Amino acid sequence: TPDDPYVIGMSQCNLGEPWRAQMNDDIRKAAEKHPNLKVIFKDAQNDSLVQRSQLEEFVNQGVDVVLISPKEAAPLTEPVAKAFHGGIPVIVLDRALLKEEYTSFIGADNVKIGREAGKWVAETLGGKGNIVELKGLMTSVPGQDRHRGFLEGLDLKAHPGIKIVFEADMQWLEPNARKEMESALARQPKVDVVYAHNDPGAHGAYLAAKQVGREKQMKFVGIDALPQEGVQYVKEGILSVTFQYPTGGAEAVDMALKVLAGETVPKKVTLATKVFTHDNAAAGGQAIP
Ligand code: FRU
């Protein structure tokens, strides 16, 4: 009841990133429709140890459901398992863990997104060119999967003229991507495509290239496709393409309600993705089956 609401504890790994602010907004908006729900938001500020203790606080507090979008897989697998085995339903969002000891995982298929990016790059390069890859945090599963999928889609064996000439871990952060791109540009006279594992990374790379007057010599590929971020960059011609990575926030609230009602929920929910290019961005992108 509204007087005695169910309490959802939501641990967000780094609210400072726009995509994560969007996820929290999606959760807030979905929860507002249900007067019997109260959400407590915590921001781990990009620190896995802080996130671990937030999880423990939620458990000690006795929240009814935990939502978590974990920073890194290894440090958060056990605390999540412990909460779950202690009887608290845990819904994991976006970044996978090392074990499936939780109620459910909601997220898009990062291998597939990486593969689509790789196919797009191979086609656009027409079999020849130099790539810079700016990776997301490689201790998080989306970074690993977006890299693996990219290599699959790129198919370097079939395209011997394509080379990844520089790769670095920018840990999902735009300032890091910009610095890494400065190094890449200093070392590589010819860069044709930058594949960044998220739109902030692609934008940071663009700014580095623009600073030295080289931004028109290369194409920038990103992931996330927030309307006010990646899609806007595509419309402005800053990025050539971005792939949508839905937050899953609304889906998580719907699932929490089902769990609270005693319904069984799937162990894994895979969210759909879309591609946004200059040609289709105004029309809302194109679904990838
Ligand atoms: C935000 C973010 C997104 C990315 C996701 C991967 O922290 O870096 O840009 O798509 O996390 O988990």
- For residue range 28-40, what is the model confidence (pLDDT) as tens digits? 999 999 999 999 9
- What's the 18 CA to ligand 1 centre distance in angstroms? 9
* Coil vs helix vs strand at 112: helix
Global pTM exceeds 0.90: yes
- For the stretch 257-283, pLDDT in tens is 999 999 999 999 999 999 999 999 999
Residue 1 in this model has a pLDDT that exceeds 80: no
164-184 per-position pLDDT tens digit: 999 999 999 999 999 999 999
Classify 188 as helix, strand or coil. Answer: coil
What is the per-residue pLDDT for 215?
98
The answer to whether the CB of 110 is under 6 A from ligand 1 is: no
State the average pLDDT over residues 127-147: 97
Assess whether the C-beta atom of 243 lies below 6 angstroms from ligand 1: no
Ligand 1 center to 25 CA (angstroms): 15
Cβ–ligand 1 contact at 198 (below 6 Å): yes
Distance between alpha carbon 250 and the CA centroid of its chain, in Å? Answer: 16
Q: Is the CB of 72 under 6 A from ligand 1?
A: no
* Angle made by CA atoms 169, 147, 180, in degrees to the nearest 5: 25
If 0-12 CB within 10 Å is exposed, 13-18 middle and 19+ buried, where does residue 271 land?
middle
Q: What token pair was written down for 276?
A: 């946004």
